[in-house]
Structure 1
């Protein structure tokens, strides 16, 4: 039975459950939703990449948008920073798409797997606690003004955030991911935002970047709505549940969990590359 017909009952049950896993990861880490969404759809529902990509992007965009709104209401989302990163990402994404159409699928998959392995390994084996001495904090280009709770904007900060947006947009277009695994480390390294604010700001960026991709896919008729809607609904429910769990878990533990997730997904992708070569 085609996906354009009535969706089988098992898929109607599995789709929101898989979506909930995506939302849970988004809430706990602010990243990784796009990384696991497509593999879940490919391995869990046996979808081709052409259908899995737009569905995953829709779910990530809606769940991230919900999380961003909650963060904005709580006053922890730095919306100006998110807007700058998101705008640069939207402008850079078409370049990544252009490159993706000119690079064979196998090298792209290998590059994605190696990037994930590097990201996860670097986070997992770094020192558990790096002291934030005064000199290190002062040297960060994006610093909060405690009097107003906002960034003291300067050219160096704008450059760092803009470059982060360009890189995340390129990877989004090239590899079909939301770019959160780029945004989270960048905000953690170049700003003094607390972890909750880093996650909320990352969700805001991912919402903006997803808007363009989902719109283009919808206009081209590339979204299977019978699967996309329950998958997205599950992602939003998972995000709400994840917010409750995040308040009870340590930030360092969450980041270690995200690192393990990156390594697991990298291993799955490398296995697919090896199987294709053999």
Structure 2
């Protein structure tokens, strides 16, 4: 059984901090930690990350809800379709080898970075970055928002990415949700999607509950800090820095898997 070390706990806390401040990025950090630090296989890391991120996101969404940053109406439109897609993606994962799964994960990180860099600028131009104004759920057809939910859900199930960096641009640009509400609403949706994805891996992996409990506890400490400091952090600047980090991590994971495939 894998022992949880100090490095695991520190990285878990940093993952929670990112999730609390950005409303996403938990799995983008958790999967590489579980693979390259803890030494789990890709399939196990994807499944375990869904459990960790689901619990952490639930805890973080409560803090955002208390601060008035959860839009329940939008969550109820986007969420069920995302949950359905996540369960389907988890069941489809049996058709992917570990190298293919990690390569797809790297590709999703690069796409997420692009969404973060372009989505923030587009939101600014559309005047949607502030806290004022109510959500315009009808800004785009509901069917479009539902399709986005299914697509993000399938990606979540396949590679363990909670989808926050894909959900948030969709909520801001398609549903017209202010940025801070998008963060809190994203955490609520990620909670439901992660639970569905983890259920989809039932019977495929053996769960190290002791390790996951300790890692999740560290992540919870991080998300508590993140939900408290989010009001003081310049969101656009933080998103740009994290997008650069995503690009670096995506290229690293992709390069590792290309080398593995060539051996």
Whether the TM-score (by the shorter chain) exceeds 0.5 is yes
Q: Closer, same or farther in 2 for the Cα pair 1:98/1:212, shift >3 Å?
A: closer
1:248 equivalent to 2:232? Answer: yes
Q: Superposition pairs for residues 15-26 of structure 1, below 5 Å?
A: 15-26=8-19
Point out where structure 2 has 5 or more consecutive residues left out of the alignment.
Answer: none
Indicate if the aligned counterparts of 2:89 and 2:197 stay in contact, CA closer than 8 A. Answer: no
Tell me the number of residue pairs that the alignment of Structure 1 and Structure 2 aligns. Answer: 260
Q: Which runs of 4+ in 1 moved over 6 A?
A: 218-221
Q: Which residue of 2 aligns with 1:237?
A: 221
| 8 Å contact from structure 1 (residues 81, 161) kept in 2 | no
Equivalent position of 1:66 in the other structure: 59
- Rounded to whole Å, the distance in 1 between the matches of 2:120 and 2:83 is 34
Paired position in structure 1 for 2:38: 45
Residue 164 of structure 1: aligned partner = 148
Question: What secondary structure sits across from 2:24 in the alignment?
Answer: coil
CA contact (8 A) 1:145 1:152 kept: no
- RMSD of aligned residue pairs (Cα, Å): 2.8
Q: CA deviation at 1:152?
A: 5.3
Cα contact 2:41–2:98 (8 A) shared by 1: no
Q: Residue in 2 aligned with 1:88?
A: 81
**2: distance between equivalents of 1:256 and 1:271?**
23
Maintained 8 Å contact 1:169/1:179:
yes
Q: Aligned in 2, Cα 1:132/1:268: closer, same or farther, shift over 3 Å?
A: closer
Measure the CA separation in 1 of the matches of 2:102 and 2:44: 17
Change (3 A) 1:73 1:127: closer
How do 1:166-245 and structure 2 match up within 5 A?
Answer: 166-215=150-199, 217=201, 222-245=206-229
1:114 and 2:98 correspond: no
With structure 2 as the length reference, what TM-score do the two structures score?
0.86
TM-score normalised by structure 1 residue count? 0.81
Deviations 1:112-155 (A, max 9, x none): 3233223324544x59855867xx56xx9xxx995xx5x45549
Counterpart CA distance in 2 for 1:84 and 1:127 is: 21
CA 1:108–1:224 in structure 2 vs 1: closer, same or farther (change >3 Å)? Answer: closer
Secondary structure in structure 1 of the residue aligned to 2:162: coil
**Aligned match of 1:265 in 249, 254, 258?**
249
User: How much has 1:175 moved relative to structure 2?
Assistant: 1.7
Write out per-residue CA displacement over residues 60-90 of structure 1, whole angstroms, 9 at most, x where no aligned residue: 1111111111122222201121132221112
